Structure 1
Amino acid sequence: MTPPLRFLWRMLGFLAVVAALAVVLSPELGTAFATNPVLNALIIGVLLVGIAWNLRQVLTLRPEVAWLENFRGPRQGAPAMPAPRLLGPMASMFQSRRTERLSLSAPAMRSVLDGIASRLDESRELSRYMTGLLIFLGLLGTFWGLLLTIGSVSEVIGGMSVGSGDLNQLFNQLKTGLAQPLKGMGTAFSSSMLGLSGALVLGFLDLTAGQAQNRFYNELEEWLAGITRLSSGVLGDAGGEGGSVPAYVQALLEQTAENLEGLQRILARGEEGRAQTSQAMMTLTERLSVLTDQIRASQTLMLRVAEQQASLGPVLQRLADAQAAPAADEVVRGHLRNTEIYLARLLEELTNGRVQSTAELRSEIKLVARTIAALAEEAPR
Structure 2
Amino acid sequence: MARSFDQHVRFSGSFGTVLKMLMVIGFVGLIVFYLSPLSPQPNNLLTEAFLANPYLNGLILGVLGLGIIYFLNQATEVDPAIGWIKRVRNSVDSAHTVVPRAPKIISTAAFVLHESQWPQRPLTPSQKTSILDSLSLRIDERADIGRYITNVLVFLGLLGTFWGLLGTVSGVADVISSLAASGGEGSASDAVAQLITNLKGPLDGMSTAFSSSLFGLGGSLVLGILALFAGQAQNQLYTSLEDWLSLQTNDNANGGPAPEGGSAHYSAAEIDHTLQRLEAAITKLASAQHEGAGAVQQEIRQLGRTLLEGTRGGRS
Please, what TM-score do these two structures have when normalized by structure 2? 0.71
User: Structure 2 matches for 1:302-317, cutoff 5 A?
Assistant: none
Q: Does 1:203 align with 2:231?
A: no
The CA deviation string for residues 44-93 of structure 1, in whole angstroms up to 9 with x for no partner, is: 111111111111111221110011112122399xxx96532211121122
Match for 2:113: what amino acid? F
User: Structure 2 matches for 1:94-105, cutoff 5 A?
Assistant: 94-95=113-114, 100-101=119-120, 103-105=122-124
Q: Does 1:33 align with 2:50?
A: yes
User: Structure 2 matches for 1:173-192, cutoff 5 A?
Assistant: 173-192=194-213
The CA deviation string for residues 302-343 of structure 1, in whole angstroms up to 9 with x for no partner, is: xxxxxxxxxxxxxxxxxxxxxxxxxxxxxxxxxxxxxxxxxx
Task: Determine the C-alpha separation between the residues in 2 that align with 1:48 and 1:16.
Answer: 13
* Aligned residue in 1 for 2:160: 141
CA 1:10/1:46 → structure 2, altered by over 3 Å: closer, same or farther? same
Task: Determine the C-alpha separation between the residues in 2 that align with 1:68 and 1:215.
Answer: 14
- Shift of residue 213 of structure 1? 0.6
* Aligned residue in 1 for 2:17: 7
The CA deviation string for residues 249-308 of structure 1, in whole angstroms up to 9 with x for no partner, is: x55xx53x43344999xxxxxxxxxxxxxxxxxxxxxxxxxxxxxxxxxxxxxxxxxxxx
* Aligned residue in 1 for 2:246: 225
User: Structure 2 matches for 1:104-253, cutoff 5 A?
Assistant: 104-160=123-179, 161-164=182-185, 166-231=187-252, 250=254
* Aligned residue in 1 for 2:29: 19
Task: Determine the C-alpha separation between the residues in 1 that align with 2:23 and 2:65.
Answer: 16
In 2, are the aligned partners of 1:134 and 1:196 still within 8 Å (CA)?
yes
In 2, are the aligned partners of 1:84 and 1:91 still within 8 Å (CA)?
no
Task: Determine the C-alpha separation between the residues in 2 that align with 1:206 and 1:162.
Answer: 59
Task: Determine the C-alpha separation between the residues in 1 that align with 2:245 and 2:30.
Answer: 43
- Shift of residue 207 of structure 1? 0.9
- Shift of residue 24 of structure 1? 0.9
Query: Which is higher, the Rg of structure 1 or of structure 2?
Result: 1
CA 1:23/1:98 → structure 2, altered by over 3 Å: closer, same or farther? farther
Task: Determine the C-alpha separation between the residues in 2 that align with 1:49 and 1:68.
Answer: 30
* Aligned residue in 1 for 2:69: 52
In 2, are the aligned partners of 1:162 and 1:170 still within 8 Å (CA)?
no
The CA deviation string for residues 180-201 of structure 1, in whole angstroms up to 9 with x for no partner, is: 1111100000000000011011
Match for 2:259: what amino acid? E
Q: Does 1:71 align with 2:88?
A: yes
Match for 2:159: what amino acid? L
Task: Determine the C-alpha separation between the residues in 2 that align with 1:68 and 1:84.
Answer: 10
- Shift of residue 125 of structure 1? 1.9
The CA deviation string for residues 15-48 of structure 1, in whole angstroms up to 9 with x for no partner, is: 1111111111122111100010110010011111
CA 1:59/1:132 → structure 2, altered by over 3 Å: closer, same or farther? same
Q: What secondary structure is seen at the aligned counterpart in 2 of 1:2?
A: coil
- Shift of residue 121 of structure 1? 1.1
* Aligned residue in 1 for 2:272: none
- Shift of residue 166 of structure 1? 2.5
In 2, are the aligned partners of 1:141 and 1:192 still within 8 Å (CA)?
yes
Is there any run of 5+ residues in structure 2 with no aligned partner, and where? 1-10, 37-43, 94-98, 266-316
Task: Determine the C-alpha separation between the residues in 1 that align with 2:111 and 2:263.
Answer: 20
CA 1:101/1:10 → structure 2, altered by over 3 Å: closer, same or farther? farther
- Shift of residue 107 of structure 1? 1.9
Match for 2:55: what amino acid? V
- Greater RCO (Cα-Cα under 8 Å, separation 6 or more): 2
- Shift of residue 162 of structure 1? 3.9
Please, what TM-score do these two structures have when normalized by structure 1? 0.59
Task: Determine the C-alpha separation between the residues in 2 that align with 1:262 and 1:5.
Answer: 43
Is there any run of 5+ residues in structure 1 with no aligned partner, and where? 233-249, 265-381
- Shift of residue 97 of structure 1? 6.6
Task: Determine the C-alpha separation between the residues in 1 that align with 2:86 and 2:189.
Answer: 81
| 2:106 aligned residue (78, 83, 87) | 87
Counting matched residue pairs gives 242
CA 1:46/1:16 → structure 2, altered by over 3 Å: closer, same or farther? same
Task: Determine the C-alpha separation between the residues in 1 that align with 2:117 and 2:133.
Answer: 22
CA 1:262/1:6 → structure 2, altered by over 3 Å: closer, same or farther? farther
CA 1:102/1:213 → structure 2, altered by over 3 Å: closer, same or farther? farther
